[in-house]
């Protein structure tokens, strides 16, 4: 009988896994909390990918794009086209709450905001839940205030506003550049003592020039103590300092939510956040339960992105076909 798989998460890597499994005759249902490629949808609207279009392709569908590096909107169009063309079965706006094993099969419980709970059965489950839905918190008083956000959409609302950007990696630097362009008064508070080596080398000179020309205020060695309604209070070299602020963008990264993994019986390394899995097959310590995409990197999301995570599904499909042959 035809085997069934459920893929949790319709990011680029979950979609790619579904295509690869369908290619070897396994029927896939993809359950997605938002709609397809929700993480890309939530990128800043001006975002240009650092990867060229061909490195974002899945399912051998060409990603034709006017520029070498696509923009967010190009990618949204591309992945919609892939899902349509491949006829993938996506269940949008359903959050998977539980994956459990019963009599050798999996029961996957999900909840749709309006339609309530569904339970589906599957032979295989692939968790491709990414990390963008869960910001890495500062854990300081005031973080939950309404003028504090962990996502930057676009710069326009910040015109002539004092904005404190917290963080010093790509998303913080990108946001600061866009904000300055849109006429915001920008201060960047970063706990590092120098620019992070992960900042894209073609972006850093632009940012550094803004700092040197005092268009952006950059404070290194700055540890946030608390956020008040009009100020951010931070400590720098043992001294308490304050910066006036109308808005705070805490660009401190994101981290995977492991609740689903742990409840399903997947062991997680406490230090690295890396789930226990076979690096060739992506099968976890629970038989027939796989992972795909950036979740395989644990807390260090910079190791896996679309460029390499899109191949995980092929490895899983290969492992499953080898198993049938044996």
Ligand X SMILES: Cc1cc2nc3c(=O)[nH]c(=O)nc-3n(C[C@H](O)[C@H](O)[C@H](O)COP(=O)(O)OP(=O)(O)OC[C@H]3O[C@@H](n4cnc5c(N)ncnc54)[C@H](O)[C@@H]3O)c2cc1C
Q: Could you list the residues that contact ligand X (CB under 6 A)?
A: 8-14, 31-34, 38-39, 43, 47, 49-51, 95-96, 128-133, 171, 260, 293-294, 305-307, 309
Q: CA 263, 267, 272 angle in degrees (round to 5)? A: 120
Among 76, 78, 122, 77, CA closest to 96: 122
Q: How far is the CB of 317 from ligand X (least distance, A)?
A: 16
Q: How many CA atoms lie within 13 A of 233 on its CB side?
A: 10
- Residue 9 or 142: the one with the smaller Cβ distance to ligand X is 9
Please state the closest distance from residue 325 (CB atom) to ligand X, in A: 28
Q: How far is the CB of 141 from ligand X (least distance, A)?
A: 27
230, 223 contact by CB (below 8 A): no
Output 91 or 241, the one with its CB closest to ligand X: 91
Helix (H) or strand (E) holding 232: strand 231-236
- Burial level of 52, CB count in 10 A (0-12/13-18/19+)? middle
* Minimum CB–partner distance for residue 236 and ligand X (Å): 28
| DSSP state for residue 202 in the 8-state scheme | T
The widest CA-to-CA distance across the chain, in whole angstroms, is 69
Q: What is the dihedral of CA 69, 73, 74, 80, to 10 degrees?
A: 140
CB of 58 to ligand X, least distance (A): 10
Backbone angles phi, psi at 26, to 5 degrees: -100, 125
- Helices then strands, each counted (H, E), the chain: 8, 16
Min. distance of Cβ 306 from ligand X in angstroms?
Answer: 3
Minimum distance from residue 286 beta carbon to ligand X (Å): 17
Q: Which C-beta is closer to ligand X: that of 57 or that of 180?
A: 57
Asked if residues 286 and 101 have their Cβ atoms less than 8 Å apart, the reply is yes
Q: Which is nearer to ligand X, 29 or 221 (CB)?
A: 29
Question: Which of 162/173 has CB closer to ligand X?
Answer: 173
Closer CB to ligand X, 209 or 302, in the complex: 302
Two structure tokens written together for 109: 């419980």
Q: Please list, residue by residue across 80-97, b when 16 or more beta carbons sit within 10 angstroms of its beta carbon and e when fewer do.
A: eebbeebebebbebbbbe
The residue among 108 and 184 lying less far from ligand X, judged by its C-beta, is: 108
Residue with smaller CB distance to ligand X, 133 or 235: 133
Q: Structure tokens of 203?
A: 């972006």
Q: How many residues does the chain have?
A: 326
CB of 42 to ligand X, least distance (A): 8
């Amino acid at each position: 009988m035809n085997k069934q798989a459920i893929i949790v998460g319709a990011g680029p890597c979950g979609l790619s896994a579904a295509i690869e499994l369908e290619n070897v005759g396994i029927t896939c249902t993809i359950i997605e909390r938002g709609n397809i490629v929700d993480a890309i949808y939530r990128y800043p609207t001006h975002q240009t990918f650092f990867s060229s279009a061909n490195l974002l392709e899945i399912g051998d569908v060409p990603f034709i794009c006017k520029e070498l590096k696509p923009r967010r909107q190009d990618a949204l169009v591309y992945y919609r086209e892939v899902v349509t063309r491949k006829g993938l079965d996506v269940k949008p706006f359903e959050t998977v709450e539980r994956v459990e094993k019963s009599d050798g099969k999996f029961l996957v419980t999900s909840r749709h905001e309006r339609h309530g709970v569904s339970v589906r059965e599957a032979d295989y489950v692939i968790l491709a839940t990414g990390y963008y839905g869960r910001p890495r918190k500062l854990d300081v008083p005031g973080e939950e205030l309404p003028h504090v956000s962990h996502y930057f959409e676009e710069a326009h609302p910040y015109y002539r506003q004092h904005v404190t950007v917290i963080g010093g990696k790509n998303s913080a630097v990108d946001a600061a550049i866009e904000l300055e362009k849109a006429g915001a008064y920008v201060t960047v508070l970063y706990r590092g003592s120098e620019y992070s080596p992960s900042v894209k080398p073609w972006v850093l000179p632009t940012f550094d020039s803004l700092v040197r020309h005092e268009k952006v205020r950059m404070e290194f060695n700055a540890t946030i103590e608390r956020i008040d309604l009009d100020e951010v209070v931070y400590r720098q070299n043992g001294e308490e300092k304050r910066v006036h602020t109308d808005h705070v963008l805490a660009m401190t990264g994101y981290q995977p939510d492991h609740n689903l993994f742990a409840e399903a019986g997947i062991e997680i390394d406490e230090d690295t956040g890396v789930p226990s899995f076979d690096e060739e097959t992506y099968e976890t310590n629970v038989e027939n339960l796989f992972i795909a995409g950036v979740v395989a990197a644990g807390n260090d999301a910079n190791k896996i992105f679309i460029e390499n995570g899109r191949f995980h599904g092929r490895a899983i499909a290969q492992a499953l076909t080898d198993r049938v042959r044996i």
